[in-house]
Amino acid sequence: MSVQGRTLLLVLLLAACALSAAPLRVLVSVAPQLESVRRIGGDLVQVEALTPPGSSPETYVLNAQRMASLAQASLLFRIGAPMETALLPKLRRSYPDLAIVDTRAGMQLRAMTEGDHHHHDGAGHDHGAEGMDPHVWLSVANMMVHARTVGAALAERLPEHAVVIQARTEQYVQELTKLDERLRERLRPLAGTAVVVFHPAFGYFLESYGLEQIAVEVSGRTPSGRQLGQVLTRAKQAGARAVYVQPQFNRRAAQAVADELRCELRVLDPLPVDYIAGLEELATALLKP
């Protein structure tokens, strides 16, 4: 073989290696899912969230430019975020080869409770499918299920790396187990107390550690005057020290509620990019005097 021929063969081999080493393009619905995919997939995956950090999955709409940027994705891990209802049919039509994995299989789902609905007398609107709370990622136990689902799906698509993926999955689940234990111990002094939030996003987290959620919004919607009066009464009876609002939301209405209750307006983020650190920060915020 000539020198030119050997050079061409080497170039082709290097190109083939580069292609085989290209990371699997993965999508998730919301930012809190990113950490598990990154930790389990490592450099084998390239992952991004459909809802950009700082945006709310309650209201985010994908534009045409952003939709086109998703063309190279092979796998989507859905989690039941509100924007999925409108978005997934579009993704299926545009990208029929995109594999969609529902990570909620095996999770303990939470129904919207009285604290989320504020005695809506049947006139409210379901915030999640069939009245279920869609913020499943704020349960550490649910995110353990999520991690195992992610690990199984990645191992199926990258079988040559299955052993490594399984080991990373188990390591991350162990870290989540330790996180759950730390949060339980840290929040033990608050067990039995009520937390007033503007948007009903924190039910999974609070109920996991023995706290109650009192939400101003009715299933994620603006309350009527009567409903607002009911929640203010409950909040006063509970001795609310603060009203918590998401950083993704306008704070004006939440500030008015805090002023009425004569307490502070504080920020809680239900969409942390760094999941473990973000839940530790939630606990720190709740423990603030």
Angstrom distance (rounded) from CA 206 to CA 267:
15
Greatest mean pLDDT range, 2-6, 61-65, 111-115, 197-201: 197-201
Tell me, yes or no, whether 132 and 230 share the same domain: no
Q: CATH number, domain at 45? A: 3.40.50.1980
Tell me, yes or no, whether 136 and 162 share the same domain: yes
Tell me, yes or no, whether 195 and 275 share the same domain: yes
Give the per-residue pLDDT at 243: 97
Tell me, yes or no, whether 177 and 48 share the same domain: yes
Give the per-residue pLDDT at 79: 98
Q: Which range marks the domain in which residue 206 is found?
A: 188-287
**Residue 210 forms part of a structural domain:** yes
Strand partners, 45: 24
Q: Which residue has the higher pLDDT, 69 or 2?
A: 69
Tell me, yes or no, whether 28 and 123 share the same domain: yes
Are 201 and 134 spatial neighbours (Cβ–Cβ below 8 Å)? Answer: no
Backbone angles phi, psi at 32, to 5 degrees: -60, -15
Residues 6+ apart with CB under 8 A from 134: 80, 81, 82, 127, 128
For helices 140-157 and 34-41, give the axis angle rounded to 10 degrees.
40
The H helix count followed by the E strand count for the chain is 11, 8
The overall average pLDDT reported for the chain is 88
Angstrom distance (rounded) from CA 97 to CA 108:
30
**Residue 6 forms part of a structural domain:** no
Note the Cα 69 to chain centre separation in Å: 22
Tell me, yes or no, whether 83 and 97 share the same domain: yes
Lowest mean pLDDT: which of 49-53, 120-124, 146-150, 275-279?
A: 120-124
Tell me, yes or no, whether 173 and 201 share the same domain: no
Angstrom distance (rounded) from CA 214 to CA 195:
6
**Residue 3 forms part of a structural domain:** no
**Residue 276 forms part of a structural domain:** yes
Note the Cα 264 to chain centre separation in Å: 26
- pLDDT tens digit string along 127-154? 455 689 999 999 999 999 999 999 999 9
DSSP-based three-state secondary structure for 82: coil
* Residue 118: pLDDT over 90: no
Cα dist. 90→77, 104, 196 in Å?
16, 21, 36
- pLDDT tens digit string along 204-238? 999 999 999 999 987 667 888 999 999 999 999 99
Tell me, yes or no, whether 150 and 243 share the same domain: no
* Residue 53: pLDDT over 70: yes
Could you say which of 154, 183, 212 is where a domain stops? 183
Report the candidate in 116, 118, 115, 114 with the shortest Cα–Cα distance to residue 228: 118
Are 75 and 50 spatial neighbours (Cβ–Cβ below 8 Å)? Answer: no
Tell me, yes or no, whether 84 and 107 share the same domain: yes
**Residue 25 forms part of a structural domain:** yes
Give the per-residue pLDDT at 1: 59
* Residue 107: pLDDT over 80: yes
Could you say which of 123, 156, 183 is where a domain stops? 183
Residues 6+ apart with CB under 8 A from 124: 117, 218, 219, 221
Tell me, yes or no, whether 168 and 201 share the same domain: no
Q: What one-letter code names the amino acid at 119?
A: H
Could you say which of 155, 183, 211 is where a domain stops? 183
Tell me, yes or no, whether 176 and 197 share the same domain: no
- pLDDT tens digit string along 160-195? 999 999 999 999 999 999 999 999 999 999 999 999
The total of structural domains in the chain comes to: 2
Q: If residue 147 lies in a helix (H) or strand (E), which one and from where to where?
A: helix 140-157
Burial 218-242 (b: 16+ CB within 10 A, else e): bbbeebeeebbebbbebbeeeebeb
